């Protein structure tokens, strides 16, 4: 599985000198986050102090991890770079496409059949380019990464929002879009706005029913779903050192729910124990040698308010178990107040299903503590009232908990064990009856609980809690049960009370696995064929985009002037389109179908200037493309906000749109456009937006002298023979201008390979 000890050594070798230099340039003691960020600067030059929340900085991550849904386009693009191998260690994890329906084995067999072409592609492309491939059933990306690849002081990016899970082992791990993953694998720097820092000081010690999950449920309540935006959350304090590495992983994982860039804990004895327990003692030995660099400086933690932008303090000894929801993870209820909230809000009290596991909460500790409750149910003659499912996060965990009898205990109380995959967490749950859209309640130990996320039913009230509380509520069959105080009636009519859960951080006999589900790449992939069926409707190899022809753009037709909000969802919708993520032509049939046309206020209805008729945006654009006519899209403020989905930039490029001219861009989308060789420009005067008319022919003048900071000119030729002209701005730097000229960033990388 090659966690690449040499790579880790070389990362650690540069820590001391870079951190010392950074401390001097920043002029004060450093947080752990700053140490890791400065140690991973792309330039290696640590003489600049970056302004938090302000400066954009290039970094050199150590690893890339991709899940199967997002890996498809990332790898199709990577193939365009012409590299023989990925530039940094990378892995693919097949976890998102397995639907939970019957049980682990049957569901996995069906997924292997249904997704065969996607899996074959991912396996072959991984084999060819030196990427580790984790087969379907091997586990969920973040759990597998924590067990195998996360290391203290490292930096990784992953094409999934819960990548921060690896922060539990002291890694800066950040969720990104496929385009970013592609860049890093191709050997390009990765850019991030230098984050703000939120410090969370943990004091005391967990006990009884409370678990690590309750820390983040509490933090989510304090900070809300937006409170972490643009910030890295750093946990510290004597309480932090009492938490297991996997418990810390849970907390970092759910940092995504408060919008944080990532979350992190420092290296401590628990991290060391987990590294040794997962057969990575050599990493622990290396980490021990530079321990002082793998936590923040002492002064920082003594007076955190001087070094963090915001500080929160939580006393673990006083922390109550929480249940958060419904429909949002920041509606935080201490268990003592939850029953009243259920009543007051008239939420369905009957608990239909309790679901434990997922990437967030399927550690040995989680499972053993939940199993201790299941065991009590058996011993105390309690009949479990709700359906109950267990989703192990990896085959390593599944095999070990089966060996140690926990799965058997869950099955004895009527639980079903699902595949080691995302399943119900991402709506891959064929839940019987969900189509009836009945009001009902479920509790999960997952991370997200937005409407429809789990089963597609908007009336499912999903709550998030620890595996222990989820299990207790499932035993009771109702939300309003408080296991800390309430009793239950058993099958003999007796009143019984559940004892506090108990468990082990790690198995006393050690972890075990027969087949972890890993496929190592070929030593030399030169002759490996990448498998893509030419008739596939889910996958399509990409052709390089054409370079710029060296001339100004003259006579562009207006495809759409979008009015109001135009997010990446308006530009490239999700939902049923997700299945075409690996097929640029098919997914392009959703291009801009959510954008509102300023002329008629309608979505997906634009005038085809060749016929004068109104039609769907993608079909109209295809008609222009077929006629060899270039087009332009006009947009409003913050165009492309939302996600980093690269399809929103690739689709217009694929269908022949040349320019996106808007009042302002969401920055990630603007960069994505540049990477694809598009011209993304902004009105100097936002009111010029009003000058654009439906039948205009539009020229972009000044490209022949395209230069940093130099404006371009737009000329509108109106149908009545009049013209308007105005200046527009751009933010292209020198390399980005070269991307535009070459037709895309990957074309440049490919050209460089050929030299
Ligand atoms: Fe998968 Fe849900 Fe985690 S979708 S990666 S189990 S957040």
Alpha carbon separation from 195 to 45, 53, 232 (Å, rounded): 18, 5, 6
* pTM for the whole structure: 0.92
Phi-psi region at 524: left, alpha or beta (left = phi > 0; alpha = psi -120 to 50): beta
CA distance 156 to 303: 29
Q: Hunting for tokens 């499932």 — which residue is that? A: 474
Exposed/middle/buried for residue 432 (C-beta within 10 Å: 0-12, 13-18, 19+): exposed
Rounded to the nearest angstrom, the distance between the alpha carbon of 656 and the centre of ligand 1 is 35
Residue 451 token pair = 């409407």
Q: Which of 160, 214, 268, 366 is catalytic?
A: 160
Predicted complex ipTM exceeds 0.95:
yes
pLDDT, tens digit, for every residue of 346-389?
999 999 999 999 999 999 999 999 999 999 999 999 999 999 99
Rounded to the nearest angstrom, the distance between the alpha carbon of 255 and the centre of ligand 1 is 13
Correct CATH for 5-315 of 3.20.20.70, 3.30.499.10, 3.30.565.10, 1.10.150.120: 3.30.499.10
**Which runs of E-coded beta strand occur in 29-182?**
56-59, 63-67, 90-93, 132-134, 155-158, 172-175
Counting from 1 in the atom list of ligand 1, the atom nearest the Cα of 393 is 6
Rounded to the nearest angstrom, the distance between the alpha carbon of 355 and the centre of ligand 1 is 13
Three-state secondary structure string covering 654-670 = HHCEEEEEECCECHHHH
Rounded to the nearest angstrom, the distance between the alpha carbon of 252 and the centre of ligand 1 is 13
- Could you tell me which of 99, 716, 54, 4 has the C-alpha nearest to residue 418? 99
Residue 523 C-alpha from the chain's centroid: 30
Rounded to the nearest angstrom, the distance between the alpha carbon of 571 and the centre of ligand 1 is 25
Q: Which of 4, 62, 68, 95 is catalytic?
A: 95
pLDDT of residue 354: 98
**321, β-bridge pairs:** none
Alpha carbon separation from 129 to 79, 99, 390, 529 (Å, rounded): 9, 28, 35, 11
Q: Which of 83, 645, 647, 697 is catalytic?
A: 645
Instruction: Tell me if residue 207 is catalytic.
Output: no
Rounded to the nearest angstrom, the distance between the alpha carbon of 424 and the centre of ligand 1 is 9
Choose which residue among 100, 216, 426 to substitute to test ligand 1 binding: the one with the highest number of ligand atoms within 8 A of its C-beta. Answer: 426
CATH homologous superfamily of 553-754 equals Aconitase, domain 4 (3.20.19.10)
551 Cβ partners below 8 Å, 6+ apart?
A: 703, 704
Exposed/middle/buried for residue 10 (C-beta within 10 Å: 0-12, 13-18, 19+): exposed
Closest C-alpha to ligand 1, atom 6:
422
CA distance 584 to 573: 13
Rounded to the nearest angstrom, the distance between the alpha carbon of 72 and the centre of ligand 1 is 17
CA distance 392 to 734: 48
Please list every protein residue whose CB sits less than 6 Å from any atom of ligand 1. Answer: 95, 140-142, 160, 162, 358-359, 422, 425-426, 446-447
Counting from 1 in the atom list of ligand 1, the atom nearest the Cα of 162 is 7
pLDDT of residue 1: 44
Rounded to the nearest angstrom, the distance between the alpha carbon of 23 and the centre of ligand 1 is 37
The residue length of the chain stands at 755
Instruction: Tell me if residue 96 is catalytic.
Output: yes
Dihedral, 178, 183, 189, 191 alpha carbons, nearest 10: -30
- Could you tell me which of 76, 77, 82, 68 has the C-alpha nearest to residue 530? 76
DSSP 11-70: HHHTHHHHHHHHHHHHTS---HHHHHHHHTBSS-----PPPTTT-EEEE--SEEEEEHHH
Which alpha helices (DSSP H) does 320-363 contain, by range? 335-344
pLDDT of residue 209: 98
Neighbours of 707 (CB within 10 A): 11
- Could you tell me which of 219, 467, 459 has the C-alpha nearest to residue 319? 219
Choose which residue among 363, 366, 446, 450 to substitute to test ligand 1 binding: the one with the highest number of ligand atoms within 8 A of its C-beta. Answer: 446
**Which runs of E-coded beta strand occur in 562-703?**
606-608, 613-615, 631-635, 657-662, 679-683, 697-701
Residue 540 token pair = 């399509």
The residue ranges of every structural domain in the chain are 5-315, 322-485, 553-754
Counting from 1 in the atom list of ligand 1, the atom nearest the Cα of 95 is 1
pLDDT of residue 656: 97
CA distance 146 to 250: 11
Contact 194, 53 (CB under 8 A): yes
Instruction: Tell me if residue 408 is catalytic.
Output: no
Alpha carbon separation from 385 to 82, 351, 583 (Å, rounded): 57, 8, 45
What value does the mean pLDDT of the chain take?
96
Choose which residue among 67, 145, 359 to substitute to test ligand 1 binding: the one with the highest number of ligand atoms within 8 A of its C-beta. Answer: 359
Counting from 1 in the atom list of ligand 1, the atom nearest the Cα of 358 is 6
Closest C-alpha to ligand 1, atom 1:
422
pLDDT of residue 736: 94
**Which runs of E-coded beta strand occur in 406-543?**
416-417, 440-444, 460-465, 488-489, 495-496, 518-519
Instruction: Tell me if residue 604 is catalytic.
Output: no
pLDDT, tens digit, for every residue of 220-270?
999 999 899 899 999 999 999 999 999 999 999 999 999 999 999 999 999
Instruction: Tell me if residue 448 is catalytic.
Output: yes
Closest C-alpha to ligand 1, atom 2:
425
Furthest C-alpha separation in the chain: 90
Q: Which of 448, 557, 583, 653 is catalytic?
A: 448
Counting from 1 in the atom list of ligand 1, the atom nearest the Cα of 360 is 3
Closest C-alpha to ligand 1, atom 3:
359
626 Cβ partners below 8 Å, 6+ apart?
A: none
Counting from 1 in the atom list of ligand 1, the atom nearest the Cα of 426 is 4
Rounded to the nearest angstrom, the distance between the alpha carbon of 184 and the centre of ligand 1 is 23
**β-bridge pairing 262-265 and 231-236:** parallel
Which residue numbers in the chain have pLDDT < 50?
1
**Exposure of 696 in the CB half-sphere (CA atoms within 13 A):** 28
Contact 97, 428 (CB under 8 A): yes
pLDDT of residue 754: 65
433 Cβ partners below 8 Å, 6+ apart?
A: none
Choose which residue among 70, 97, 162 to substitute to test ligand 1 binding: the one with the highest number of ligand atoms within 8 A of its C-beta. Answer: 162
Q: Kindly provide the b/e burial profile for residues 112-136, where b requires at least 16 CB atoms within 10 angstroms of the residue's own CB.
A: beebebbbbbbbbbbbbbbbbbbbb
Contact 705, 679 (CB under 8 A): no
Choose which residue among 71, 92, 93, 95 to substitute to test ligand 1 binding: the one with the highest number of ligand atoms within 8 A of its C-beta. Answer: 95
Rounded to the nearest angstrom, the distance between the alpha carbon of 420 and the centre of ligand 1 is 11
Q: Which of 96, 622, 658, 697 is catalytic?
A: 96
Rounded to the nearest angstrom, the distance between the alpha carbon of 257 and the centre of ligand 1 is 12
**β-bridge pairing 613-615 and 606-608:** antiparallel
Q: Which of 90, 124, 362, 643 is catalytic?
A: 643
Instruction: Tell me if residue 160 is catalytic.
Output: yes
Q: Hunting for tokens 């321990």 — which residue is that? A: 291
- Could you tell me which of 568, 534, 530, 582 has the C-alpha nearest to residue 77? 582
Exposed/middle/buried for residue 196 (C-beta within 10 Å: 0-12, 13-18, 19+): buried
CA distance 224 to 639: 25
Counting from 1 in the atom list of ligand 1, the atom nearest the Cα of 391 is 6
CA distance 277 to 289: 19
Rounded to the nearest angstrom, the distance between the alpha carbon of 93 and the centre of ligand 1 is 11
CATH homologous superfamily of 322-485 equals Aconitase, domain 3 (3.30.499.10)
């Amino acid at each position: 599985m090659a966690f690449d000890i040499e790579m880790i050594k070389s990362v650690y070798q540069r820590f001391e000198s870079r951190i010392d230099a950074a401390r001097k340039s920043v002029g004060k003691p450093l947080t752990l986050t700053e140490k890791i960020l400065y140690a991973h600067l792309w330039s290696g030059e640590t003489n600049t102090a970056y302004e938090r929340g302000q400066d954009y900085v290039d970094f050199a991550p150590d690893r890339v991890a991709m899940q199967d849904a997002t890996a498809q386009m990332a790898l199709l693009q990577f193939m365009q770079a012409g590299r023989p191998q990925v530039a940094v260690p990378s892995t693919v994890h097949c976890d998102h496409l397995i639907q939970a329906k019957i049980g682990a084995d049957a569901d996995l067999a069906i997924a292997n059949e249904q997704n065969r072409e996607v899996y074959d592609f991912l396996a072959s492309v991984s084999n060819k380019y030196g990427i580790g491939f984790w087969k379907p059933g091997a586990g969920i990306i973040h759990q597998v990464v924590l067990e195998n690849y996360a290391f203290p002081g490292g930096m990784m990016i992953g094409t999934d929002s819960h990548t921060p899970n690896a922060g539990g082992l002291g890694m800066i791990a950040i969720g990104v879009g496929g385009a970013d993953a592609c860049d890093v694998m191709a050997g390009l720097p990765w850019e991030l706005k230098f984050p703000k820092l939120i410090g969370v000081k943990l004091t005391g010690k967990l006990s009884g029913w409370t678990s690590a999950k309750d820390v983040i449920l509490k933090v989510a309540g304090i900070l809300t779903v937006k409170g972490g935006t643009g910030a890295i959350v750093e946990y510290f304090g004597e309480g932090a050192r009492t938490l297991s590495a996997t418990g810390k992983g849970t907390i970092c994982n759910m940092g995504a729910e408060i919008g944080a860039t990532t979350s992190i804990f420092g290296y401590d004895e628990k991290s060391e124990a987990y590294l040794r327990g997962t057969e990575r003692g050599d990493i622990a030995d290396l980490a021990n040698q530079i321990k002082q660099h793998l936590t923040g400086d002492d002064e920082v933690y003594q007076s955190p308010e001087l070094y963090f932008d915001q500080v929160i303090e939580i006393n673990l000894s006083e922390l109550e178990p929480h249940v958060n929801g419904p429909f949002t993870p920041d509606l935080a209820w201490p268990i003592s107040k939850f029953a009243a909230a259920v009543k007051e809000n008239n939420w369905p009290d009957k608990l239909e299903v309790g679901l434990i596991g997922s990437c967030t909460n399927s550690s040995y500790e989680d499972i053993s503590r939940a199993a201790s409750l299941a065991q009590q149910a058996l011993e105390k003659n309690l009949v479990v009232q709700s359906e109950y499912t267990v989703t192990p996060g990896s085959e390593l965990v599944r095999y070990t908990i089966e060996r140690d009898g926990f799965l058997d205990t869950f099955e004895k109380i009527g639980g079903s064990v699902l595949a080691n995959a995302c399943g119900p967490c991402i709506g891959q749950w064929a839940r019987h009856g969900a189509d009836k859209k009945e009001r009902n309640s479920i509790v999960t130990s997952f991370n997200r609980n937005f409407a429809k996320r789990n089963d597609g039913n908007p009336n499912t009230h999903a709550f998030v809690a620890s595996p222990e509380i989820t299990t207790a509520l499932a035993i009771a069959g109702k939300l309003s049960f408080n296991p800390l105080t309430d009793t239950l009636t058993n099958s003999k009519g007796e009143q019984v009370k559940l004892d506090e859960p108990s468990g082990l951080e790690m198995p006393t006999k050690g972890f075990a696995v027969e087949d972890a589900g890993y496929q190592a790449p070929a030593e030399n992939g030169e002759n490996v064929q990448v498998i893509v069926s030419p008739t596939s409707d889910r996958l399509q190899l990409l052709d390089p985009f054409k370079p710029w022809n060296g001339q100004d753009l003259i006579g562009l037709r207006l495809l759409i002037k979008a009015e109001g909000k135009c997010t990446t969802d308006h530009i490239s919708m999700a939902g049923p389109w997700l299945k075409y993520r690996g097929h640029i032509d098919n997914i392009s049939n959703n291009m801009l179908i959510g954008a509102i046309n300023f002329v008629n206020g309608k979505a997906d209805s634009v005038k085809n200037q060749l016929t004068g008729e109104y039609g769907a945006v993608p079909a109209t654009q295809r008609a222009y493309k077929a006629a060899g006519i270039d087009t332009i899209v006009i947009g409003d403020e913050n165009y492309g906000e939302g996600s980093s989905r690269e399809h929103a930039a690739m689709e217009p490029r694929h269908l022949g749109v040349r320019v996106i001219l808007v009042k302002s861009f969401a920055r990630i989308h603007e960069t994505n456009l540049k990477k694809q060789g598009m011209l993304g420009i902004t009105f100097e005067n936002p009111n010029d937006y009003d000058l654009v008319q439906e039948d205009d022919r539009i020229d972009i003048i000044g490209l022949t002298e395209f230069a940093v900071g130099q404006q371009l000119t737009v000329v509108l030729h109106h149908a009545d023979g009049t013209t308007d002209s105005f200046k527009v701005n751009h933010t292209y730097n020198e390399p980005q201008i070269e991307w535009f000229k070459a037709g895309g960033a990957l074309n440049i990388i490919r050209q460089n390979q050929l030299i």
